[in-house]
Amino acid sequence: MSTIQEAGEGKKRIVIIGAGFAGVHTYMELHRQMHGRKDVYITLINKNDYFLFVPMIHEVAMGNLLPGSITQSLRVLPQCCLNDFIEGEVQSVDFDNQTIKYKQSHKVDNDDENFDAMEVVYDYLVLAPGARTNYFGVDGAKENTLILQDLNDAKKIKNHMLHRFEEAQTTDDENIKKEILTFVIIGGGATGVELCGEMADIFNKELKDVYPELYPLSSVKLIHAGDMLISPAVPWFAQRTQKILEAKGKVEIMLNSRVIKIEKGIVWIGDKNVCGGTIVWAGGTLASDLQTIASKKFKRNEKDNRVVTNRFLQLPEYPNVFPLGDYAWVPEKDKPDTAYPTRAQFATREGFFAGRNIKRLIDGNLNLEEFVWKDQGFIVSLGRGGALASAFGLKLSGFIAWWFYRTAYLLKIFGTRAKIRTAMEWTLNLFLPRDLSEL
């Protein structure tokens, strides 16, 4: 594959930043729409060389799956239309000059003085750099908590959990043991409850078998600022989620508990505190803080920093730029003051629409497609044999929802190898203990 973009001179250069759901599906749609054409040059830039199936990352953190089960190499995307794949981290985007500066992820030549100053030009830009953690201004949150956004985070959480149990064996003080084995999760959204459910399961089964004397001292505390888990807009989900988690016997749920400060091993809620050996922040996300240079002022949503698009997924001030996924605030068709959610299914469909609209623009067709997508449902995994699902007008819970969750996600995993590997690991987990080795 060429890595010299000058080969694209005289062609329409399409650059995709980010290889999440939105970025990858934009490329796949461009591939379907423009396969065989010689007048376009497509470049994909991503900081890693793999696509990550983020909705199942909590299963890696808790040993249900190995990292390879939720990743697929970007180098095996259809190569016929992908002229350049650049494994690098974008530093800035200049909308006026249509240039992108990036830093390669891996430096080969230590004497290369231009390593930090590489540049790519574009005619059409798909901007899907993803999200970053939102700490909501809580003092000490960034410094004293773990997060769960990528594979490195999942590895840190799993290793840290195992280390805590090992550490607890080195003291005879039961109070210290309890503190070391108290795991605090802040945030009762999907990430928080899914991690909480899996963590309670691994305590109740695998870690109980390995550390029977420590098991009674271990616990999970789920702290949430709101009065209902997941979403107050769906009371059924909230109530069932709380019931399922509490039934596991290792979980304490603290609602209406707004965290104001975090110190090492201490979470402050007003004038009260919760001590724990591990603190995980699952409080929400903001759009990427990617540096943009532009003479025209464009809008961002104040709450989460997402870039406001029009109904065609374009940045209105720069119509050759298509912000997508977690980076984009896309107005709903019949509710212009409301944005579509930043879930995977919406990012995937945004990729399809963006790919088709870019093709239309290149062909001189200004009759673009408006983005419209009806929510196909919501699934939350709550540990072994338990889940909640709302799909096609039905509400499912328990084993049926758990089976639906696994079936739906297995179909959505990108890449045949990852699908097979995931199915095999899930099957093994039905009969054998989950993996307890460090990552």
124 shares a domain with 221: no
69 shares a domain with 14: yes
322 shares a domain with 293: yes
> What's residue 1's pLDDT?
34
- Phi/psi of residue 422, each to 5°? -65, -45
CATH number at residue 178: 3.50.50.60
Which of 338, 362, 386 is the last residue before a domain boundary? 362
318 shares a domain with 232: no
Closest CA to 42 of 76, 81, 1: 81
Question: What DSSP line would sit under 256-317, residue for residue?
Answer: S----EEETTEEEETTEEEE-SEEEE---EEE---EEE-SS---B-TTT-PEE--TTS-BTT
224 shares a domain with 145: yes
Report the number of distinct structural domains present in the chain: 2
206 shares a domain with 192: yes
How many Cβ atoms from other residues are within 10 Å of residue 366's Cβ? Answer: 9
378 belongs to a structural domain = no
Q: How far is CA 250 from CA 72, 201, 219, 230, 244, in A?
A: 34, 9, 5, 19, 11
216 belongs to a structural domain = yes
> What's residue 138's pLDDT?
96
Question: What DSSP line would sit under 174-203, residue for residue?
Answer: HHHHHHHTEEEEE--SHHHHHHHHHHHHHI
Closest CA to 224 of 261, 262, 193, 181: 193
According to DSSP, the β-strands at 219-223 and 291-293 are unpaired
385 belongs to a structural domain = no
278 shares a domain with 162: yes
pTM for the full model? 0.92
User: Which residues are bridge partners to 391 per DSSP?
Assistant: 394
195 belongs to a structural domain = yes
Which of 328, 346, 362 is the last residue before a domain boundary? 362
Residue range(s) defining the domain that contains residue 38: 5-133+285-362
The pLDDT averaged over each successive group of 10 residues in the chain (439 residues) is 54 96 97 93 95 94 92 88 92 96 75 69 97 96 96 96 96 96 96 96 95 96 94 81 92 96 96 96 94 96 95 97 97 90 94 97 95 88 86 83 87 84 90 90
235 shares a domain with 115: no
Closest CA to 82 of 22, 11, 2, 19: 2
> What's residue 164's pLDDT?
96
Distance CA 367, CA 361 (A): 9
397 belongs to a structural domain = no
Q: Which two tokens stand for residue 273?
A: 């505190």
120 shares a domain with 184: no
Closest CA to 380 of 229, 250, 185, 232: 229
179 belongs to a structural domain = yes
300 belongs to a structural domain = yes
417 belongs to a structural domain = no
User: Which residues are bridge partners to 102 per DSSP?
Assistant: 90, 118
166 shares a domain with 70: no
SS3 243: helix
235 shares a domain with 346: no
193 shares a domain with 300: no
Q: Which two tokens stand for residue 416?
A: 């045949």
Distance CA 208, CA 214 (A): 8
Which of 283, 298, 319 is the last residue before a domain boundary? 283
